[in-house]
Amino acid sequence: MEPAGQRNDTIALSRNALAGLVNAIKLDGFAVFGPTVRDGAIVYDHLDSLEDLPIGVTDKLAPGHYRLAPREDHALFGHHVGPHSLRREFLIPVATLFRARRTPQGFAQIEEPPPARKLALFGVRPCDLAAVAIQDRVLLNDAYRDTDYAARRHGVLVIAANCTQAGGTCFCASMNTGPEARAGFDLALTELDDDTIVCTIGSDVGRALVQRVEHVPASDQLLERARLLLNDAATHMGRTMDPHGLRDLLATTLEHPRWDDIASRCLGCANCTLSCPTCFCTSMEDMTSLDGTEASRLRRWDSCFTVAFSYVHGGAVRPSLKARYRQWLTHKLGSWHDQFGSSGCVGCGRCITWCPVGIDLTEEITALRQPGGS
């Protein structure tokens, strides 16, 4: 792995300077969102100051297991990924697409104002940035542009936090999406173990922002320390998955006996799709007031694991758990390439962590590569 950025684009900040950076962002009128501890997990939520970060807290990740634990230091970013991804900020769980009211001249549309906030995302993990880039391809750059998503994405300030340690279910190194942020950020931070922050500048906005706090050029020694930490994280991932040939593998193993084995364990709860940072399936709900004077259409998150998702006249297309899990995995890792030119997986491992029975898609892919069985 190469050092985090070029010398002239990389600076060093103290922890106090980083706190000043948060204050500068707030003075510019941004609402700052980042990782914080709430309800026994590390989630993305509102940050008032640097002290709201999960300082000295880490999370222990395993298949079907998530627990917080204290650290022996006071690291700002010594955690991994919690149940929330950035999807909930842009493709929100429930959105009103339009409202209309009956008038003497007919129905008139009630305009829904765009989100009235300036959003700064602080401490975002590289896998989540990669997931946003995937959703941008689907919802902004495809033939059908999602205007609500576009409004929420516009003007967002992004300060990424590179991962200096890997979690028990992470495999971003396999998917080439981490542990170092490569694109999509204004600033990217690599936390060293002496309260020094190596900061890579990714945009003119980020460059202007760091001019407002005390900083120095990053020395060769600091860059080397950052490189070693990132390399160590990349080589100690909790999981691995060979991404090569997955499209053809999944297209030619639709009758593999492993699908029956997965179906015998899967609960169909949809936790994997709800925690996934790239899933974008939604359903529409039309509602009319009792007096018939107003109508609205809501968009809600949905999941291909629900029977109703594939329902057409006469019944569901995928009535069995086997069919629904197979649809999800073959789309995520296979046919997504045909539609959008990349995998739909960024290796964050959330689907493994938050599966109640610990189904591990990296394990399932390994089994599918075996010709005769599990």
Q: Write out the DSSP string of 92-119.
A: -SEEEEEEEEEETTEEEEEPPPPP--EE
Q: Is residue 241 part of a domain?
A: no
Q: Is residue 2 part of a domain?
A: no
Q: How far is CA 150 from CA 22, 31, 74, 307, in A?
A: 25, 18, 37, 30
**Is the domain of 17 the same as that of 153?**
yes
Q: What are phi and psi of 225, to 5 degrees?
A: -65, -40
> Which SS3 state, helix, strand or coil, does residue 236 take?
coil
pLDDT tens, 296-315?
Answer: 999 999 999 999 998 888 88
Residue 193 has pLDDT above 70, yes or no: yes
In the listed set 235, 262, 292, which residue is the last one of a domain according to the structure?
235
Q: Is residue 240 part of a domain?
A: no
State which amino acid sits at residue 299.
R
Give the residue among 184, 165, 171, 202 at the shortest CA–CA distance from 78: 165
**Is the domain of 171 the same as that of 190?**
yes
Contact 186, 155 (CB under 8 A): no
**Is the domain of 296 the same as that of 254?**
yes
**Is the domain of 211 the same as that of 101?**
yes
User: How many structural domains are present in the chain?
Assistant: 2
**Is the domain of 189 the same as that of 317?**
no
Q: Hey, what are 271's tokens?
A: 């936790």
In the listed set 235, 266, 296, which residue is the last one of a domain according to the structure?
235
The predicted model gives 283-289 an average pLDDT of: 92
Pairing of the two strands 106-110 and 94-103: antiparallel
What's the pLDDT score for residue 1? Answer: 36
**Is the domain of 183 the same as that of 251?**
no
Per the prediction, the chain carries an average pLDDT of: 92
pLDDT tens, 115-151?
Answer: 778 999 999 999 999 999 999 999 998 778 898 999 9
Q: What are phi and psi of 226, to 5 degrees?
A: -65, -40
Buried b (16+ CB within 10 A) or exposed e, 140-161: eeeeeebebbeebbeebbbbbb
Confidence of residue 236 (pLDDT cuts 50, 70, 90): very high
pTM metric for this prediction: 0.91
What's the pLDDT score for residue 8? Answer: 54
In the listed set 180, 211, 235, which residue is the last one of a domain according to the structure?
235
Q: Could you give the CA distance from residue 329 to residue 306 in angstroms, rounded to a whole number?
A: 15
**Is the domain of 219 the same as that of 342?**
no
What's the pLDDT score for residue 2? Answer: 38
Pairing of the two strands 216-217 and 196-201: unpaired
Percentages helix, strand, coil for the chain, rounded to the nearest 5? 35, 25, 40
User: What residue numbers bound the domain in which 339 lies?
Assistant: 246-368
DSSP readout, 23-54? HHHHHTTEEEEEEEEETTEEEEEE-SSGGGS-
State which amino acid sits at residue 30.
F
Instruction: Determine which helix (DSSP H) or strand (DSSP E) holds 325, and give its type and residue range.
Output: helix 321-330
Largest CA distance in the chain: 74
Q: Could you give the CA distance from residue 294 to residue 70 in angstroms, rounded to a whole number?
A: 52
